[in-house]
Amino acid sequence: MNSLLLREIVSHVMSNFAIIPSDTVGLKTKSLLDEEYILPEKFRFKSDGVSYEGRVWGCQLSFLQNDVKVLLTECASDEFPEFAMAIKSKDAPTYGMYFRHIESDDPLDSDPMLAVSIDGKEWLNCTTFLQATFLAAMEQIRELMVPWQKCNEYKDLYSSLISFVKYRDQFIGQSDEG
């Protein structure tokens, strides 16, 4: 797997939602981190034996008889912002992304991950083909400039977000909880 390409894809999608800054993505929308999108759920996790509680944001986009729901949570326990995201389109697999926003030449420093799940519970890392397919879909959404709304009916996606973070933690060998 190409770690540099993975980092660029994940950071680009995060930039499309104005979660992290970008010099190349021209935005015409609010950041998903806007208070308008905060949901009542909290994301609880542990790092080095310390418990943390992160906020959860959610938006949905409706276009061409399709709904795309996006949930985001913060997973940082230090000074570098870390985010996990779950994205679900009607009649499509759920995608999970993880990114640690750190300026570094080493693509692995940002701990990028892009995984896919058919049922929202069992996850697999995306192949390069699935990464490209996901990126193309996210670019199509950005180019349509469809307005976002605060997410509703998102409980299944919230469960998928938690299961994705657990998958990621197991994948990298940590024992954190979501």
Per DSSP, the residues of 133-168 read: HHHHHHHHHHHHTPPPEE--S-HHHHHHHHHHHHHH
Residue 86 falls inside a structural domain = yes
Residue 64 falls inside a structural domain = yes
Per-residue pLDDT at 18: 83
pTM: 0.85
**What domain range is 134 assigned to?**
3-171
Average confidence (pLDDT) over 104-119: 76
Residue 149 falls inside a structural domain = yes
Residue 18 falls inside a structural domain = yes
Residue 176 falls inside a structural domain = no
b (16+ CB within 10 A) / e for 85-99: bbbbbeeebbbbbbb
Condensed to tens digits (0 to 9), the pLDDT of residues 128-142 reads 999 999 999 888 888
- Tokens 């779950």 locate to 86
Q: Which two tokens stand for residue 117?
A: 């799940």
Average confidence (pLDDT) over 51-62: 88
Residue 81 falls inside a structural domain = yes
List the Cα angle 155/82/174 in 5-degree steps.
Answer: 85
Please give the tally of structural domains in the chain.
1
Average confidence (pLDDT) over 80-95: 90
Residue 107 falls inside a structural domain = yes
Residue 178 falls inside a structural domain = no
